[in-house]
């Protein structure tokens, strides 16, 4: 007999609830963890399983969810009215009418669920079980539904918290809401679910209850609480973020990065770090960051949408905005901000500088206080600085402008025209000297002040 994971698998993700506890105009499943919507984290986890189809059941704020699913390959089914979780899962039947294989049902607000756990759940059907459910043992059972099972993992009963007896509530094994069955069983069991309960709703766990009533075997697979804890409030969102960040920090260090104070470093969902990278305290990575080998990122830096080659040094207190590209051994120092700036090999801007819409050649040196004046209130313009050029401190480069190779811009210059290769550009007003003027001024002002 073929193992369950040799069957095709389809996923039904339930995301029709209102999420009222979030108190947000944004759909609950679209709130980000590591800069990426919870729902998309879940889809990423399932990608390793290569599901034949994924259906997201929507209701409230459906337009937001549909927009987020563009280009994911997932389809949408609508639950209206919302009559419970079993009713929600049944709304996906039309989309999966031709599907023959295993059907997984889970919630969209559980972003930590992994593909490996789903595999274990599916494999649990190989012993002849009709339904497999995912359980966990939380520190606080709160209002979770309970799973009553024997020592071999055979489920005897499943019950919602509000319908459970005191003895059943004392059970530590709780229902995560994740369930799997073959399509030939899933639809039949879903359609048989009734609503004779305290809330008058059609509950998904009653799929398992119905199978047990038929004499079929239902099994439970256990996982850690952290993997299946749902996110229903801002506090739970913060806890999920903290948990996810802790995982990413461990992953980064296992991959060869040194984090001087791991708990203070914040990653994005797609952050990529090379080997022998050193990250000092209080560094934040936004989306779209790729870091090469042997890079040093000093404290209090914020990096987003940047590609950083091997051997670069960043910070402290640096801000790299989207479109920044640093070639090998480039340096960005303290209080330097870049945006759509490409720094060539060995180029450096060590202090108090803004480089926007700029291309800086290899070996160029950008002095403290330099800014590229790239915006006139309507359009953005380019600044191009040649190889080995030297830009003196407190210079303003008014784009569009080009500074040639090996050129020097003297400190304090406001450059509005191109500078040729090897040229010195000095733009300063004539210094006016008045000997003794300051002494006379101070004397006059002191007398005036004393006379009041």
* pLDDT tens string 87-125: 999 999 999 999 999 999 999 999 999 999 999 999 999
The string of DSSP codes covering 66-106 is HHHTTTT--EEEE-SS---HHHHHHTTTGGGTT--SEEEEE
Average the pLDDT over 193-201 and give the result: 84
Looking at the structure of the chain, the number of domains it has is: 2
Compute the radius of gyration of the chain from its Cα atoms: 31
The pLDDT-based confidence of 1 (bands split at 50, 70, 90) is very low
Domain holding 330: CATH number?
A: 2.160.10.10
Q: Are residues 219 and 119 in the same domain?
A: yes
Instruction: Kindly state whether residue 86 falls inside one of the protein's structural domains.
Output: yes
The pLDDT-based confidence of 6 (bands split at 50, 70, 90) is low
Average the pLDDT over 7-24 and give the result: 92
**What pLDDT is attached to residue 142?**
82
Q: Are residues 213 and 246 in the same domain?
A: no
Instruction: Kindly state whether residue 451 falls inside one of the protein's structural domains.
Output: no
Q: Are residues 303 and 329 in the same domain?
A: yes
Instruction: Kindly state whether residue 67 falls inside one of the protein's structural domains.
Output: yes
Instruction: Kindly state whether residue 446 falls inside one of the protein's structural domains.
Output: no
The rounded distance, in Å, linking the Cα atoms of 333 and 317 is 8
Domain holding 27: CATH number?
A: 3.90.550.10
Find the domain containing 380 and state its range: 234-425
Q: Are residues 414 and 303 in the same domain?
A: yes
The rounded distance, in Å, linking the Cα atoms of 199 and 162 is 9
**What pLDDT is attached to residue 2?**
45
Q: Are residues 187 and 113 in the same domain?
A: yes
Name the DSSP class of 59.
Answer: B
102: tokens are: 């295993």
Coil vs helix vs strand at 9: strand
Mean pLDDT estimate for the chain:
94
Instruction: Kindly state whether residue 143 falls inside one of the protein's structural domains.
Output: yes
Let me know: does 382 contact 365? Beta carbons within 8 Å: no
Catalytic residue flag (residue 351): yes
* pLDDT tens string 122-165: 999 998 999 999 999 999 888 889 999 999 999 999 888 888 88
| Catalytic residue chosen out of the listed positions 161, 300, 302, 351 | 351
The pLDDT-based confidence of 4 (bands split at 50, 70, 90) is low
Q: Are residues 246 and 368 in the same domain?
A: yes
Q: Are residues 66 and 167 in the same domain?
A: yes
Coil vs helix vs strand at 55: strand
Q: 156-165, 203-212, 440-449 — which is least confidently predicted?
A: 156-165
Nearest partner of 161 among 198, 131, 192, judged by Cα: 198
Q: 190-194, 228-232, 311-315 — which is least confidently predicted?
A: 228-232
% residues pLDDT > 90 (the chain): 88
Q: Are residues 250 and 115 in the same domain?
A: no
| Cα distance from N-terminal residue to C-terminal residue, the chain | 105
Q: Tell me which long-range contacts 331-340 makes (C-beta under 8 A, separation of at least 24).
A: 334/298, 338/306
* pLDDT tens string 316-353: 999 999 999 999 999 999 999 999 999 999 999 999 99
Q: What angle do CA 282, 306, 257 make, to 5 degrees?
A: 50
Instruction: Kindly state whether residue 452 falls inside one of the protein's structural domains.
Output: no
């Amino acid at each position: 007999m073929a193992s369950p994971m040799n069957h095709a698998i389809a996923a039904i993700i339930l995301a029709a609830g209102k999420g009222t506890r979030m108190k947000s105009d944004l759909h609950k499943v679209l709130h980000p963890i590591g800069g990426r919507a919870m729902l998309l984290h879940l889809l990423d986890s399932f990608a390793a399983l290569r599901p034949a189809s994924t259906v997201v059941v929507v209701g409230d704020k459906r337009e937001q969810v549909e927009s987020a699913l563009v280009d994911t390959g997932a389809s949408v089914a609508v639950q209206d009215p919302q009559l419970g979780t079993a009713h929600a899962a049944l709304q996906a039947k039309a989309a999966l009418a031709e599907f023959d294989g295993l059907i997984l049902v889970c919630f969209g607000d559980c972003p930590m669920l992994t593909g490996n756990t789903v595999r274990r759940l599916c494999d649990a059907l190989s012993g002849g079980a009709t339904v497999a459910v995912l359980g966990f043992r939380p520190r606080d059972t709160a209002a979770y539904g309970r799973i009553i099972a024997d020592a071999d993992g055979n489920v005897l009963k499943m019950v919602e918290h509000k319908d459970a007896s005191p003895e059943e509530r004392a059970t530590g094994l709780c229902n995560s809401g994740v369930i799997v069955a073959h399509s030939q069983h899933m639809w039949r069991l879903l359609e048989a679910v009734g609503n004779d309960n305290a809330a008058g709703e059609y509950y998904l766990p009653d799929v398992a209850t119905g199978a047990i009533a038929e004499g079929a075997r239902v099994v439970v697979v256990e996982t850690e609480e952290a993997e299946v804890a749902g996110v229903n409030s801002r506090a739970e969102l913060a806890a999920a973020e903290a948990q996810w960040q802790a995982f990413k920090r461990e992953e980064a260090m296992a991959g060869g990065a040194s984090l001087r104070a791991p708990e203070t470093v914040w990653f994005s969902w797609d952050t990529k770090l090379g080997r022998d990278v050193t990250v000092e305290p209080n560094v934040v990575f936004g989306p779209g960051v790729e870091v090469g080998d042997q890079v040093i990122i000093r404290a209090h830096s914020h990096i987003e949408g940047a590609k950083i080659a091997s051997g670069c040094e960043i910070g402290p207190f640096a801000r790299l905005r989207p479109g920044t590209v640093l070639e090998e051994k480039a340096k960005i120092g303290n209080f330097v901000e870049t945006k759509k700036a490409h720094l060539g090999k060995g180029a450096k801007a060590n202090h108090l500088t803004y480089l926007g819409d700029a291309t800086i050649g290899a070996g160029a040196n950008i002095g403290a206080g330099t800014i590229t004046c790239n915006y006139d209130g309507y359009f953005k313009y380019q600044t191009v600085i040649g190889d080995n050029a030297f830009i003196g401190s407190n210079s303003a480069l008014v784009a569009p402008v080009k500074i040639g190779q090996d050129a020097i811009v003297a400190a304090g210059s406001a450059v509005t025209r191109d500078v040729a290769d090897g040229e010195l550009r000095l733009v300063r007003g004539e210094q006016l000297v008045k000997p003794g003027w300051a002494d006379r001024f101070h004397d006059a002002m002191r007398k005036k002040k004393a006379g009041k």
